[in-house]
Structure 1
Amino acid sequence: MTILVTGLPRSGTSWTGKMLAAGGGLVYVNEPLNPQHPPGRCPGVLRADVTHRFQYICEDNSADWLPAFRDTAALRYRFLPELRANRSPYDLARMLRYGTAFTLGRLTRQRALLDDPFAVLSAGWFATRLGCKVIALVRDPVSFVASWQRLGWTVYFHELLEQPLLVRDHPELLELRALVGSQDRVAKAAALWQATSRILSRTPGILVTSYEELAAGPVPGFRRLYDYAGLPWTSRAEQRITHACTASGDKGHAFAWSGWSRTAFRPMDSRRALEAASRGLTPAEVARVRRLTADSTA
């Protein structure tokens, strides 16, 4: 059974995905629904046309997505479409890496692990239609907004609002219209967090997991996720997770991302990382985020 790790960007999906893959037996697939190339727009990995960030997939448009994701889940790599679409040295190296991983994974009966924050609003479809074990990360809103502020990120709500099926199924997103074109990045990030948290809270068939709880107790937390995903909890997995979540910056102390599909994950002391959660926000901004998200955190 395929595993999907999702949640808004900067909610710990890359970290969680890498920790789940620490025990072996999984082929890690990085953000197939990301509309930016790279890591997205790679038809060898996902032969479908991604047109929006947070592309919404549901039963009504399932025919456009199910065959492509079934191929991805079955680790069937499409070499010719990838070669036709992408010919740079980076793309060729990435094709070799993914093509090899998919082929060996299929031959050795490994499972696909999709790490994709852009699937967060479609988590229900992945659980019910594709049959994934879905783990959805939710980060504390102050920590989430502060992370976006430090990176200078914002969200363009028109990419959500111009998807009719998404607005139909989640009409609370219409409230975001008031912030279209706004330069208030704090308010926009908080509104995205609140809307997404509400949607996840009522999505059946998924496991919603607190990033903070996982970071505070990574070994018991990931052992619970291993059980949920049907992964064997081994001494190898425990050792690698322990090392990767207590790292002090020494690359030799733990394993990290590598290769041509790198993620945002770095070895870290996960407990200490929580101490700087609000870095980048003023005390007034912290209080404001708490007010803006109070309905979803009560």
Structure 2
Amino acid sequence: MGELQSTRQDYDRFKAAVAKGDLSQAQRLLSQLKLKLIQLTTASYESASQTQAARALFRDVLEQAIFLSVKSKDEEAFQRNYVQLQEHYLDTRSVLPASPLQDLVLGLNLLRLLVQNSIAEFHTELELLSPKMQRSPYVAQATQLEQWLMEGAFNKVLDAGKAAPDPAYAYFLDKLQTTIRDEIASCSEQAYPHLSVKDATNLMMFNSEADLAAYAQQRAWSIDNGQLVFQVHEEDKISEVPAVQLIQHAMTYARELERIV
């Protein structure tokens, strides 16, 4: 059995482990596959087809590695695998057909950048994509989410999980929704001493009052007679601004600047 065929069988086992969620087995196989494929892609073959087959297999492995990192909730691994995969996309673009998973992987990366609030990098990556790629449902949802976030349409973001184009989006969408809900909760704590349970459930966009009660327990809020009572920490209280003192400091700085000039 040739080395390439043997590696392809290892890949099949790796892909199956990722699909089943056997993360430890998948991680072990991934480490072995990467070592084998580095050797295979740098080897000298008698035919160009063998070289292309090795490169295509490496690309397939890295795509599955992306899905493994999502299932493992390992964003650092996602980033490492994505950087390697981008190189393979570029290197094989002229000799291999585009991967059917490429748009999905690109969309996942855009969603990751959105969750990490890396907006500048998000737009840089988006501009590198062709118009056709930007219209794919995987990329389009990420761009739509970014637009809703900029508009403050948080209710639409929280509903986005119902229309995810692929199950792989669930991890990042859940994380994005949690971040938004936490932000709404923090603002509510500062704005109100208490809210009715009904209003708080709607404001934080929970599906039920039971979900709100579970969340309230996490944040040390209490529920009393149908009212959600916020727990305000001493460090969160806004102290009086020493206006006179600030003005005096500003005047002193201005005089010093004038003297220097």
TM-score class, shorter: under 0.3
| Higher gyration radius (CA) | 2
- TM-score computed with the length of structure 1 as normaliser: 0.21
Q: TM-score, normalised by structure 2?
A: 0.23
User: Which protein is richer in strand relative to its size?
Assistant: 1
Structure with greater helix percent: 2
Higher RCO (C-alpha under 8 Å, 6+ residues apart): 1
